[in-house]
Structure 1
Amino acid sequence: MESQNIVPTILAEILEKKQSKPLRINTRTTPLNPPNLDSTLIIAEIKRASPSAGNIGEIANPKVLAESYLQGGAGAISVLCEQDYFKGDLEDLREVKESHKEACVLRKDFITKQEQIAESYGFGADMVLLIAAVFVGQKNPYGGFGQLQRLYEECLKFGLTPLIEVHNAQEVDFIAPLQAKFIGVNSRNLHTFVIDRIQAYNLIEKIQAQNPQSKVIFESSLNCDFDGFVVGNLGFNGILCGSYLVRNQTPRVALENLKKALECGKKDSNVFYKNAFKLLDLPLGFVKICGITNVEDALMCAESLQELAIKGVECQAKEQKIAALGFIIEPNSPRFVAIEEIKRITKELERFPNILKVVVLKDDERQMKSALKLYREGIVDALQLHGITKAGWFGGVELRGANFAFYEVWNVESAEDLGEFVSPFVLLDSKSALGGGSGRKIDNKALESLMKKAQYLCVAGGVGIENVESLKKIGAKMLDINSSIESEPGKKDFAKLQSLIVKLKTLGESLE
């Protein structure tokens, strides 16, 4: 949890420069248009640059880009008005609003003064962004919660809709007394400008518990349609997207596809991501036992995994998962299991509703078709895609437009081996002739070098009792266990399994 006495680093620089900017006067001639909170809301952003990305795109005519967004189904237009770091201006906002009087327009800026609310209204804003991170912390130079509340109330006086932005659990607690109707979750830390999507994803449940009246918008790090699917699947009401749309050659089409993906994600009742992201953020992390080939082993592993249920992840409901089992449908694997056998095994596993079920496949169209059928029928919760041969594609499917839960597996020896991945997290396995299940380990130094690129360190290949502790020490958040607990390929060994579970439980308790 972050706690600053003063606003630090990049955010501090932006705010300091902002204080020297004079207030500007403009007489509003356009109607107020609040956002439609009853529909899927895409807030499409006009954004020229950022401190992290540098120049994003030249926008010579903001009203033309706004028109493309509106044609694509945008429910609101966000205009970045900060001049020094984002190369925006209030004139952009005025131009967009006057050209599209019926549109809802958001002023996205670093606001600290009540006079800036009147300024926003005068230039045509219908919504105003208020950033919690600006006001959090003891000895806050910008007035703390009291000033945030005054700004919020000032927005309401002018008929403007405040969008309150948070990026961590501390800020969710901080803004709770406002009972805001509209909350944005920024996956980018404005102090460091580092992205942590999974932390942001996990905030929605906390926000919904504290603010059941709120509509929740996901902000930043949207790079393809599939990101929209994930966000919708988690329960977000909408998204705010800038860089991805600005860079796109056909922003209208990109926005249409993103909106469809978001709506598709909302309709998908699968709970894999919601649970996987929670597990990844817990001290012990996400534990998966792979290579299950028969009912006996499945039940033995599921029963043993119950020992890993720790405070906060006990099976209180069907949706609350504690670990996963994996089923391999690659025919050449010594742990191959037929589709009909998977159905039989998963039927028996219904007595353990807190176990996730994952189908593991190679880059093959027939396997992909079979795996997707298992997913659509609710027999498995996710696909583990092993052996990516072309970034962004698998089994004849373009992953950037996927509408199912999956994560990728990349075989690596060094950071250079990890290509561009689409899934929210990526499992790292060792290189071998088999491609997986060989029991070969990835060198810990190589894993450390991969940490920044992968963000969440998820490890397969030779994971066993002798190295789980060292893997946790270097930051592993997912452990995929297979051959180390077998008496022979495809047959799990009870004694080895129990020894590993005891080790994992001890580790989990020490990390709590």
Structure 2
Amino acid sequence: MSILMKIIEDKRKDLKHMGYSHGVEIPEKRRVPIVSVKQNPLIICEIKRTSPSKGTIKADIDPVKQAEKYIKKGARAVSVLTEKRYFSGSLRDLMLIKNRFPNIPVLRKDFILKAEEVDISYRAGADAILLIASILSLKELYKIYRRARRYKMDVLFEVHSEEDIKKAYDIKPEIIGINSRNLEDFSIDLFNPLKLKKLINWKATTIFESGIKGCEDALFALSSGFHGLLIGEAVVKNPALIEDIVSIYKRPISNFWERLFKKDERPLVKICGITRTKDVHYLEKKGVDAMGFIFAPSPRMTNSNFLKNIGEINAVKVAVITPDSLSDKNLKKETEIIIEENLVDAVQLHGFPPSFRLSNKLLMPYYNALRVKGLNDIKNIALYNSQRVLIDAFDTHSAGGTGKSIPDEIIYESSKITPLWVAGGIGVNNIKTIIKRFKPELVDASSSLEKSPGIKDHSKLDNFFEEIKNAKATH
């Protein structure tokens, strides 16, 4: 039996033996105002003592003092775990917090199974309830949802799968929470919410749930197009993190990840080392997903003025930077300009160690690129904090654009660790084989599609995209 099914089984037993209030004395009438959780910034921080996946998080937590810390740091809503057996929560925690902070919205987070639990939640002071699609039938979901909305309570309708989205479609809830946690084994996949979000075809406020450990994860969620965040363990242990996350909301946020993953029909294609406007326009016509602009020592190096002249395009714009980009005075200035003025959608950190972090001043959507010499190097993929790692061929004299290919064995082993993003000697002659053999999520090409460094060959580009199309057709 999965963890989830065990929790639900025990919850049914508790409802039968202790009633809908779980033995907690609840006021006959609600005593506090209803406040919507749809605040700005939409950051919901959780009161949680324990969990099945993490064990004890903070057993001696004072719910009121913890909520006060959240609010002072910038949280606009509080989520309270009220499940007792596995999360050491209680409706008492919820009532204490709401009575102390009546104008702060409070979400009751529990495994709600019956409409009568909504009545209890309302009287206890909850402004919103969590409704988990995967544990209830459509009929049960609709009944509970309607009951909550009659009370003018918000409903955070939580989904984990395409099946859950199908249930949500019939109800069309106003607030959708997409959980990165697999409720069967409690593992985390931050890309799951991004993939499911594309299936929501009605107007809804979307909230990214679980897996937010720091600013970089928060930035990933927001640049995936989510309106808000539900954060648990990380803020329980470190409430100061809230201030840093609030600061992200205050700056323009590129929707890099959302735009990059808008299509599924073929591998994502990035063409790097672009230096001419005419190549930008041509690649736009070909439907390229990402364009790379180099801000590091290279014959393909460009500048901020070039990006300003390009303006808005359909493909995402990626600035490729190396350690030299931050150590050289002039390059550092250019790097700061393109990030601070939002001239690119993301940065590719090429050749940086796993321990490197962008400063808060330069923080924006990013991924790492690892130059691999041999099989031992691919172990470093797991050390990076970025959601994807591009592997590229190593060259002693150049960081990229060498035309060197990565041995098949290294590509294959890398694909076992993470969805494959691959560069290095990719061109017309081998792209079809690479797609069929390794099924990459993204391919990155540069020098093999040029007449000379930085000058793209349109005939080669035509053949390259035709080969991709043929590879998909025979896949």
Q: Which residue of 1 aligns with 2:380?
A: 417
Matched ranges for 1:249-328 at <5 A:
251=239, 253-264=240-251, 267-268=252-253, 270-279=254-263, 282-295=264-277, 298=279, 303=282, 306-307=285-286, 309=287, 322-328=288-294
Change in 2 beyond 3 A, CA 1:386/1:153: same
Matched ranges for 1:164-203 at <5 A:
164-203=157-196
Q: How big is each residue's C-alpha offset from its partner over 1:445-467, in whole Å with a ceiling of 9 and x where there is no partner? A: 5445444654x321122333325
Contact 2:293 2:302 in 1 (8 A): no
Change in 2 beyond 3 A, CA 1:458/1:10: farther
Contact 1:228 1:259 in 2 (8 A): no
SS in 2 for 1:326: strand
Q: 1:44 and 1:341 mapped to 2: Cα distance?
A: 41
Q: Which residue of 2 aligns with 1:246?
A: 236
C-alpha root-mean-square deviation of aligned residues, in Å? 3.1
Q: 1:27 and 1:59 mapped to 2: Cα distance?
A: 23
The residue identity in structure 2 corresponding to 1:150 is K
Q: Which residue of 2 aligns with 1:156?
A: 149
SS in 2 for 1:503: helix
| Greater Cα shift, 437-446 or 173-182 | 437-446
Q: Which residue of 2 aligns with 1:358?
A: 318
Q: Which residue of 2 aligns with 1:236?
A: 226
| Greater Cα shift, 283-292 or 189-198 | 189-198
TM-score by length of 2: 0.84
Contact 2:321 2:350 in 1 (8 A): yes
Does 2:435 correspond to 1:474? no
Q: CA deviation at 1:146?
A: 0.7
Does 2:392 correspond to 1:429? yes
Q: CA deviation at 1:430?
A: 3.2
Q: 1:295 and 1:31 mapped to 2: Cα distance?
A: 60
Q: CA deviation at 1:243?
A: 1.6
SS in 2 for 1:58: coil
Q: How big is each residue's C-alpha offset from its partner over 1:58-90, in whole Å with a ceiling of 9 and x where there is no partner? A: 343222211111211222211122334434333
| Greater Cα shift, 480-489 or 61-70 | 480-489
Contact 1:238 1:262 in 2 (8 A): no
Q: 1:461 and 1:495 mapped to 2: Cα distance?
A: 20
SS in 2 for 1:120: helix
Change in 2 beyond 3 A, CA 1:60/1:168: same
Q: 2:461 and 2:225 mapped to 1: Cα distance?
A: 36
Q: Which residue of 1 aligns with 2:26?
A: 27
Q: Which residue of 1 aligns with 2:426?
A: 463
Q: Which residue of 2 aligns with 1:103?
A: 104
Q: CA deviation at 1:150?
A: 0.8
Q: CA deviation at 1:325?
A: 2.4
SS in 1 for 2:441: strand
Q: How big is each residue's C-alpha offset from its partner over 1:384-426, in whole Å with a ceiling of 9 and x where there is no partner? A: 2211135242xxx426x74433322223444422254344433
The residue identity in structure 2 corresponding to 1:406 is Y
Does 2:7 correspond to 1:14? yes
Change in 2 beyond 3 A, CA 1:462/1:49: farther
Q: CA deviation at 1:339?
A: 1.6
Q: 2:186 and 2:167 mapped to 1: Cα distance?
A: 21
Contact 1:304 1:501 in 2 (8 A): no
Percentage of identical aligned residues: 31
Q: Which residue of 1 aligns with 2:306?
A: 342
Q: CA deviation at 1:148?
A: 0.5
Q: 2:104 and 2:56 mapped to 1: Cα distance?
A: 26
| Greater Cα shift, 423-432 or 255-264 | 423-432
SS in 2 for 1:418: helix
User: Which segments of 5 or more consecutive residues in structure 1 lack a partner in the other structure?
Assistant: 1-7, 136-143, 310-321
TM-score by length of 1: 0.79
Q: Which residue of 1 aligns with 2:138?
A: 145
Could you list the runs of 4 or more consecutive aligned residues of structure 1 that deviate by over 6 angstroms after TM superposition? none
Q: Which residue of 1 aligns with 2:467?
A: 503
Q: CA deviation at 1:44?
A: 0.4
